[in-house]
Amino acid sequence: MSAVCTSPSLSSLSLPSQVAVPPAVRRGAWQLAPGQALSLKAQGDSVLSVRQGRIWVTRDATRQQATEDLVLAPGETLRVAAGQRVVMEPWDGFGATYSWDAV
């Protein structure tokens, strides 16, 4: 993972027990609990991929682009440039599963 996590705690990165996440989705991925927000800053060019659920992502503004809010669904990806910060949280009350990989 090529990011710096600016969230105060990583201990709450699991879904509630009533939400079943298939093992194939969990492998190599992280989970966002309902209502949890997480801030990541890419150390190198990276790709955020949604595996389960929907994720609301806010990208910080850059010189070339204003701040941007996006909602990503399973199978969708977002390329994050080196040094760029994103804040993300599940779009609904079910949580979400994502991966963060170097390009």
For 31-43, the DSSP string reads EE-TT--EEEEES
Query: What pLDDT score does 8 carry?
Result: 43
Task: Please tell me the pTM assigned to this model.
Answer: 0.72
Q: Judge whether residue 73 has pLDDT over 60.
A: yes
pLDDT beyond 80 at 2: no
Q: For residues 59 and 79, what is the distance between their CA atoms, to the nearest angstrom? A: 11
Mean pLDDT of 14-36: 68
Look at residue 7 and tell me whether its pLDDT is greater than 80.
no
